[in-house]
Amino acid sequence: MNFANLLKVAITAIMSNKSRTLLSTLGIIIGVAAVITMMAIGQGSKDSIRKELSKMGTNLINIRPGGDMRGGVRLDPSAMQTLKMADVEAIQNEAKLITHISPEVTASGQVIYGAKNTNTTVYGESTEYLSIKLWEIKDGDCFTEEDIKKSSKVCVVGTTIVEELFGDKNYDAVGKTIRFKSIPFRIVGILKSKGYNSWGMDQDNVMIAPYTTVMKRIAAQTFFSNINVSAVKEELSDDAIEELTTILRRTHKIKEGGDDDFTIRSQQEMMETMSSTMTTLQTVLVVAAAFSLLVAGIGIMNIMLVSVTERTKEIGLRMSVGARGIDISRQFLLESIMISLSGGVIGVGLGYLLSGLAQMIGFPATVPLWSVLVSFGVCALIGLLFGYIPAHKAATMDPIEALRYE
Amino acid sequence: MAEERKIVIELQNVRREFHVGSEVVKALRGVSFKIYEGEFVTIMGTSGSGKSTLLNQLGCLDTPTSGEYILDGVPVKKMRRRERAVLRNRKIGFIFQNYNLLAKTTAVENVELPLMYNSAYSAKQRREAAIEALKAVGLGDRLEHKSNQMSGGQMQRVAIARALVNNPAVILADEATGNLDTRTSFEILVLFQELHRQGRTIIFVTHNPEIAQYSSRNIVLRDGKIREDVENHNILSAADALAALPKQED
C-alpha cells in the first residue's frame, strides 16, 4: 500500500476513536508541554541574565587576586594582597587593548543623613568606573582626578540611597553631606537608576567614591580587592586578557611555569558560567519530563495493542485480499506515529500557552524553536518505538485465525 | 472437449495435517481434482469434513502438508507468506458468510480495498474499477453508502463487488448466503448465476444441499476425502425460484 493510502487508513482509524485517541495522547501532551515550558523558562532566564550582564558592559574584564600557596596552604583569594597601585600603573602605561581601568576597594556599612540611615556598600573607584560599568549620571557630576589625588571625601550615590536618606528618589541631593562610618561625604552626583538585576540585587543601592579615599580613610589598606578594565572591543577581550596576564606576571615577578596569583575573567566567561548553571538545572528538568514521555509511550503501546486485538477481523480481511505482513505493520506503525505526533502538536501548543502564562506571572520565558522541532522528532520516535510491538503482532497474525476471530 | 478448457485449479493428492497437542488431525487425506475456467462448483460437506481446510488451501491462506496445489498455473506449496499474499491479491476474490466489510466505510472504499494493495492501480483507476464492480452487482445507486447503512443483502453484494474488482481467476465464496433470509439468498444466487453466465469461475463452499442444484458441478467432501464429484446437467434457474417464492406480506 502506498503512503497516501496508508495515511488515509490511519486517519480514518484515529478519527473513528476520537476520545480514546485523545485520552491515550494525554501523556504525550503533558510530557511535551512540560518539556517546552521548561525549555522556554530556561532559555528565557539565560537570555535575561545575558541581557543583565551586557548592561554592565560586554567588554568588561575583571582582575581578581588568585589563591596562592603559602607553605603548602592554599589561601583565600580575597585575603590576598597582591593587586597594588604598581599593577594599575603598569597596565595604564603598557596595555594597548584597554580603554578604561578602575581599581576597586569596597566596604560595607551604614550611611546616615540626619535622622535617617541605611546600609550600603561603598565602592572605591577611579573616574573611569562609570564608563566601564555603563553607569550614567542623572544629577551633578562624577568626582574628578583631582579628588582622587587628594583623597577627597566626595561620592556619587544611587537612587535607592537618595530615597532612603532623603525620602524621595527624585530629590536633588547634590551638595548634601552624608556620613559613612562617621566620615562625611559630600554628594557630587546621582546615578541614573538601573533597577534590580536578575539575581535580585538592587543595583541602585550603591555609593561610589574615589578609591584613594576608601583605601585610606575607610578600609585602611594598600591593596585592591579587584581591578575592572574594559577592552577596546568585545571581540578583543581574549587578546586583552592575554596582554594583561603578561603585564601582571611581570609586575608580580612570576617565574616561567609558575602559577598566576591572579584571575582574569571577561564578561563573556561570566555569562557562560551563569548559563552553565541554568543549563544544568534545565537538563535535570528536561530529563524528568523525558521520563514522563517514556510513560506516555507505554500508554500508546497499550492502546495500540487494544486496537490491534479489536481489529483482528479487519486484519484478517486485509490479509485475505492481499495485504502483506509489511502492509499491515506499516498501517499500525503509521497510526501510532500519528497518535503520538498529534499529541506532540497539542503538547507544543499547550507548552506555548504555559510559557505565555509563565511570562505573565513574571518568569522570563521564550520558547526556543529547536525545542519544538526536537519535541516533534521525539514524538515520532516514541510512536515508532512503542508502535513496533503492536504492529509486529498485527503483521504476524495468521489470516485464517484472524478471519475466524469473534 | 474437456481438454480444450483451461484449468484454473488443480489439486494433486493434497493432504493437510494439524498437530493438536500430541495428536495428529488429518483434515485432508489426499484430495485431487481439477476445476476448469467458467465452472460454478459447489463444495459440500458436513462440519468436520475438511471443507474449511480445503477452502483455506484453495484461497492460498494455507499450504498443504503434502501434495501440490496449482492455481492458474502457479504452484502454491513452496510459496512464502508474502508471495501468497500477492497471489491472493491478483487471482482470488473472497466472499465470506458475514460479509467482512470495513466498518464506517463507504461501499466504494470497501470495494477499492484489494486494489489498495496493488500498486499498478492509481487512485482514479481504483475508484473507477470499484464503481464498475458495484454497478455489476446492482449497487450503482449505493456507492457512498456506509456499511452500517445497508441491509445484509446489500452488504453481501458489496462483498461480491469487492471479490470481482481485481478480476480474479477464481471467486471463493464461503457460505455466502448463510446469513441471509430465503429471498435475499436467492437474489444473491441469481447474481452468482449471472457471474457464471459471464464466464467467471466460482467455488461456493456450503453445507446447504439446495444450492448444488444451481451450480454446474458438485463436490462432496467427507472425512477429508472426496466422496462424490458430479457435473450437474440440469441447472435450476435461481431467478425462477425467486419468482416462485410467495410474496412478502409486509
> DSSP per residue over A208-249, as a string?
EEEHHHIIIIII--SS-SEEEEEESSGGGHHHHHHHHHHHHH
Structural element, H or E, at residue A207: strand A206-210
Pair B91, B170: CB distance under 8 Å: yes
CB contact under 8 A, B117 and A323: yes
Instruction: Please check whether residue B59 touches A, CB under 8 A.
Output: yes
Contact B102 A324 (CB under 8 A): no
Q: What is the pTM of this model?
A: 0.73
Residues of A in contact with B104 (CB under 8 A): 12, 16
**Best residue in B96, B117, B148 to probe A by mutation, most A CBs within 10 Å?**
B117
pLDDT recorded at residue A17: 83
| Three cell numbers written together for B190 | 441469481
Integer Cα distance of A38 and A48 in angstroms: 15
- Asked if residues B222 and B46 have their Cβ atoms less than 8 Å apart, the reply is yes
- Residue B214 domain flag: yes
**CB < 8 Å to B96, chain A:** 403
Model confidence over A201-213: pLDDT tens digits?
788 899 999 999 9
Q: What angle do CA A186, A188, A190 make, to 5 degrees?
A: 115
Identify whether the C-beta of residue B108 lies closer than 8 Å to the C-beta of residue B127: yes
- Whether B56 maps to a domain, the answer reads no
CB within 8 Å of A56: residues ≥ 6 apart: A133, A134, A267
- Asked if residue B44 is part of any domain, the answer here is yes
Is residue A249 pLDDT above 80, yes or no?
A: yes
Distance, in angstroms, between A384 CA and closest chain B CA?
Answer: 22
Interval A342-354: pLDDT, tens:
999 999 999 999 9
- Give the residue, B245 or B36, on which the prediction is more confident: B36
* Among A28, A20, A82, A106, CA closest to A340: A28
Q: Report pLDDT digits (tens) over B141-172.
A: 999 999 889 999 999 999 999 999 999 999 99
Residue A143: strand, helix, or coil: coil
Of A4, A323, A400, the CB nearest to B85: A323
Q: State the average pLDDT over residues A149-172.
A: 91
> What are A396's three cell numbers?
504476524
- A-B Cβ pairs (cutoff 8 Å, strict): 60
Which residue from B minimizes the CA distance to A396?
A: B81
At residue A21, the pLDDT reads 87
Report the distance separating Cα A179 and Cα A281, nearest Å: 43
pLDDT in tens, B180-206: 999 999 999 999 999 999 999 999 999
CB atoms within 10 A of CB A136: 10
Q: What is the pLDDT of residue B91?
A: 94
pLDDT tens string A40-73: 888 888 888 777 777 767 788 889 887 665 666 6
Establish how many alpha carbons lie within 13 A of residue A121's alpha carbon, considering only the half-sphere containing its beta carbon. 10
Q: Are B123 and A4 an interchain contact pair (Cβ–Cβ within 8 Å)? A: yes
Return the pLDDT at B1: 46
User: Which neighbouring-strand residues pair with B35?
Assistant: B9
Distances from the Cα of B202 to the Cα of B35, B58, B246, B248, angstroms? 9, 12, 29, 30
User: Is the separation of the CB atoms in A186 and A232 below 8 Å?
Assistant: no
Measured CA to CA, the distance from residue B159 to residue B111 in angstroms comes to 7
- Closest residue of chain A to B105, computed from CA coordinates: A12
A319: contact with B, CB 8 A cutoff: yes
Which of A289-293, B95-99, B237-241 bottoms out in mean pLDDT, i.e. has the lowest? Answer: A289-293
Residues of A in contact with B147 (CB under 8 A): none
How is the beta sheet containing B92-95 ordered, strand by strand?
Answer: B92-95, B170-174, B202-206, B40-44, B217-222, B225-231
CB contact under 8 A, B88 and A320: yes
Question: What burial class does residue A228 get, using C-beta atoms within 10 Å of its C-beta: 0-12 exposed, 13-18 middle, 19+ buried?
Answer: buried
Q: Any chain A CB within 8 A of the CB of B61? A: yes
Is A313–B61 a contact, with Cβ atoms under 8 angstroms apart? no
Q: In angstroms, what CA-CA distances link B72 with A237, B88, B90, B125?
A: 83, 11, 11, 25
| Residue B102: all three cell numbers together | 470495513
- pLDDT for res B67: 94
Cα–Cα distance between B195 and A296 in angstroms, integer? Answer: 53
Q: How many residues are present in chain A? A: 406
Per-residue pLDDT at A52: 73
The cell numbers describing A341, all together, are: 505526533
- Within a 13 Å sphere around the CA of A92, how many CA atoms are in the beta-carbon half? 12
- Nearest CB neighbour to A324, from listed B82, B94, B166: B82
Facing B117 at nearest CB: one of A12, A321, A403? A321
Tell me the mean pLDDT in the region B229-248.
89
Buried b (16+ CB within 10 A) or exposed e, A90-110: bbeeebebbebbbbbbbbeee
- Residue A396's alpha-carbon distances to A27, A197, A305, B125, in angstroms, are 29, 63, 13, 30
Q: Is residue B147 part of a domain?
A: yes
Which contiguous run of DSSP H or E holds residue A356?
Answer: helix A325-360
Instruction: Name the residue among B4, B14, B43, B6 with its Cα closest to residue B219.
Output: B43
Residue A390 clears pLDDT 60, i.e. is over it: yes
Q: How far is A313 from chain B (nearest CA, A)?
A: 8
Indicate the pairing of strand B217-222 with strand B40-44.
parallel
The residues in B 206-245 lying below 8 A from A, measured between CB atoms, are none
Asked whether residue B63 is domain-assigned, the answer is: no
The answer to whether A327 contacts B117, with C-beta atoms less than 8 Å apart, is yes
3-state secondary structure of B173: strand
Whose grid coordinates read 577627597? A152
Please determine, for the modelled complex, whether the ipTM score is greater than 0.90.
yes
Q: Say if the Cβ atoms of A322 and B62 lie within 8 Å.
A: no
Q: What is the pLDDT of residues A1-12, one digit of tens each?
A: 778 888 888 888
Of B81, B114, B123, which is closest to A321 when you measure between CB atoms?
A: B114
State the CATH number of the domain containing residue B201.
3.40.50.300
Distance between A398 CA and the closest CA of chain B, angstroms: 8
Which residue of chain B is at minimal alpha-carbon distance from A319? B85
For residue B153, give the nearest of B50, B20, B248 by alpha carbon: B248
- The domain containing residue B132 runs over which residues? 39-51+85-244
Distance CA B167, CA B122 (A): 16
Q: Which residues of B touch A16 (CB under 8 A)?
A: 103-104
pLDDT, position A308: 94
B123 touches chain A (CB under 8 A): yes
Tell whether B116 lies on the interface with A, counting CB pairs under 8 A.
yes
Residues 6+ apart with CB under 8 A from A400: A316, B56, B61, B62
How far is Cα A300 from Cα A278, in angstroms, rounded to an integer?
33
Alpha carbon of B46: minimum distance to chain A alpha carbons (Å): 18
> Which residues make Cβ contacts (< 8 Å) with residue A64, sequence separation at least 6?
A77, A83, A225, A226, A262, A263, A264, A265
Q: Are A5 and A327 in contact (CB under 8 A)?
A: no
- Among A313, A320, A323, beta carbon nearest to B94: A320
Burial of A74 (0-12, 13-18, 19+ CB in 10 A): exposed
Tell whether B182 is covered by a domain: yes
Q: Which residue of B has its CA nearest to A401?
A: B61
Nearest to A317 among B90, B100, B123 (CB): B100
Strand partners of residue B220: B44, B228
* Number of structural domains found in chain B: 1
SS3 letters for B60-122? CCCCCCEEEEEECCEECCCCCHHHHHHHHHHHEEEECCCCCCCCCCEHHHHHHHHHHCCCCCC
Per CB-CB distance under 8 Å, the chain A contacts of B114 are 321-322
Tell whether B201 is covered by a domain.
yes
The answer to whether A397 contacts chain B (CB < 8 Å) is: no
Q: What is the mean pLDDT of chain A?
A: 87
Strands (DSSP E) contained in A126-164 are 137-140, 154-157
